[in-house]
Amino acid sequence: MRRWRRVLLSLLLALWAGVAWYHTHKGLPAGLAAASPLCPVQPEQVSFIADITAADAYGRSAVSQGIFDAMLQVVHAAQRFIVLDFRAFSAEATAARHVTAELTDALLAQRRAHPAVQVLFIVDPAVERYGALPSPQLQLLRAAGVTVVAADLQRLRDPNFTYSSLWRLALSWWSSPADAFGLAAQRMNYKADARKVVLGDDGHGGLAAVVGSADPSDSRSNWSNVAARLEGGALPALLASELAVARFSGWRGSPSAFATAPAGGTPPDCAATAAAAPATMQVVTEGAIHQALLEHLAATASADSIDVAMYQLGDRAVAQELLAAARRGVSVRLILDANEADENGGTSGLPNQVVASELVSRSGGALHVRWYRTHGERFHGALVLVYGANHLWLTLGSAQLTRRSLDDYNLEANVGIETARSSALAQQTLQYFDTLWNNHAALGIEYTADFAAFANPSQADYWLYRLLEGAGLAGF
């Protein structure tokens, strides 16, 4: 009997390990981890937008917002189609701004004004508790003819391989997201549709989009975020990628309604015209964001600079490239959220506090860090600037600098833009960063604090972060 128990246990362990390996390494659905060709854009086709929340010396909020208004402009201009893709979309009565209702009303109004307009809304399944609790806002949109698609996260790879194989083999068959245990069982897979995109026709035969780090969710309406308002360029590739997500998630609509995107999803003349353009745009998703970022960080020399404004920094490859750049004389500055509040309102400081402390220590102080001062909200930036005397490359979008975001586990969408250092876009982004870094604000407002305010040299916390990040056991 003992022998058969050992055989059975060995078989179960082999099955668990096999499922874990397969779902960690399996191929991604078509259209993911994509990098479009470099496409030319004109300076007027790209603009940088930042939402900034701070507080004065009396604790009164000082808020500057533009991202949600830019999203609404894309919606109002569309006459043929609108594609949206978000992680969070929910109303909250006490919110500072009711962005969920604003976007819902805008979509309903556009459907009334242009009944033929096709609206495709892709959401993370957690918005409706994985199908157990329909969203009132999404129900209104469905009733008005909007197609709502919950992203099929099970088609993605599993970052939490120690748990997800158990979930696939056993828990997924009987746990229900309608109860607290079932919802937690789903969320512990630690993957999401994290994209934050509004894209539509511009009413003149072209495309317009807002790509950034902001969700139209009331509870997040006062977070500090970044985004870009885009036209032309590589947007057909972004549209093609969004339609690919919808297709593998069960959408059976006709692509002909979104026929602005040419075959292959990218303009055919990109390669021929990009070299002579004043600026270039590239759409990068999932793991392609990681590759593009590492390439640009590795290419920096001692006269160059790297500025990072980020909610979470934990990916080891990115951390090593930042450290290597600082050691060879590149100016490296990081503005980070202190990660004091987690998804459940607790405190942890991971990963930013220990990673920043590691980088400052190992660089001998050559790498510089400041912390954004939050007041209940989050500094949710997702911006990297790499620049020299003449050129600037930036990437922004949904991707945080973590394993989940960059290693093909979440759905993520970024744009990479290269432009002259003297361009309006470059000046906008550099001024934004310098304003926060140097606290160029009205009297009494302090955007960022010195590194020492949240430095955490604890080795116990550092190795806890390394374990959680490497094993996929954390939500960052």
| Phi, psi for residue 58 in degrees, rounded to 5 | -100, 5
**pLDDT tens digits, one per residue of 93-126:** 988 899 999 999 999 999 999 999 999 999 999 9
Residues 284, 167 share a domain: no
Task: Report if residue 364 sits inside a domain.
Answer: yes
Residues 164, 68 share a domain: yes
What confidence score (pLDDT) does residue 234 get?
95
Residues 90, 231 share a domain: yes
Q: Is the pTM of this model over 0.85?
A: yes
The residues, any chain, with a CB within 8 Å of residue 239's CB and separated by 6 or more, are 83, 199, 207, 258, 260, 261, 265
Residues 205, 93 share a domain: yes
Task: Report if residue 36 sits inside a domain.
Answer: no
**pLDDT tens digits, one per residue of 283-336:** 999 999 999 999 999 999 999 999 999 999 999 999 999 999 999 999 999 999
Instruction: Supply the range of the domain harboring residue 128.
Output: 41-255
Task: Report if residue 63 sits inside a domain.
Answer: yes
Domain edge (last residue) among 194, 223, 255 = 255
Residues 419, 323 share a domain: yes
Task: Report if residue 22 sits inside a domain.
Answer: no
Give 3-state DSSP helix, strand, coil % of the chain, rounded to 5: 40, 20, 40
Residue 197 has pLDDT above 90, yes or no: yes
Residues 325, 214 share a domain: no
Task: Report if residue 292 sits inside a domain.
Answer: yes
Percent of the residues in the chain that have a pLDDT greater than 70, as a whole number: 95
The arithmetic mean of pLDDT across residues 444-472, rounded, is 94
Residues 223, 154 share a domain: yes
Higher pLDDT, 367 or 16: 367
Residues 290, 146 share a domain: no
The arithmetic mean of pLDDT across residues 408-436, rounded, is 97
**pLDDT tens digits, one per residue of 169-190:** 887 777 678 777 778 888 899 9
Task: Report if residue 307 sits inside a domain.
Answer: yes
Give the position of tokens 């009205």: 442
What confidence score (pLDDT) does residue 451 get?
98
Task: Report if residue 361 sits inside a domain.
Answer: yes
Residue 8 has pLDDT above 90, yes or no: no
DSSP 8-state class, residue 368: E
Residues 411, 318 share a domain: yes
How many domains does the chain contain in total?
2
The residues, any chain, with a CB within 8 Å of residue 244's CB and separated by 6 or more, are 29, 30, 31, 32
CATH number at residue 301: 3.30.870.10
Domain edge (last residue) among 221, 255, 289 = 255
**pLDDT tens digits, one per residue of 370-400:** 999 999 999 999 999 999 999 999 999 999 9
Residue 254 has pLDDT above 60, yes or no: yes
Residues 281, 251 share a domain: no
Residues 360, 431 share a domain: yes
Task: Report if residue 2 sits inside a domain.
Answer: no
Residues 108, 53 share a domain: yes
Higher pLDDT, 262 or 399: 399
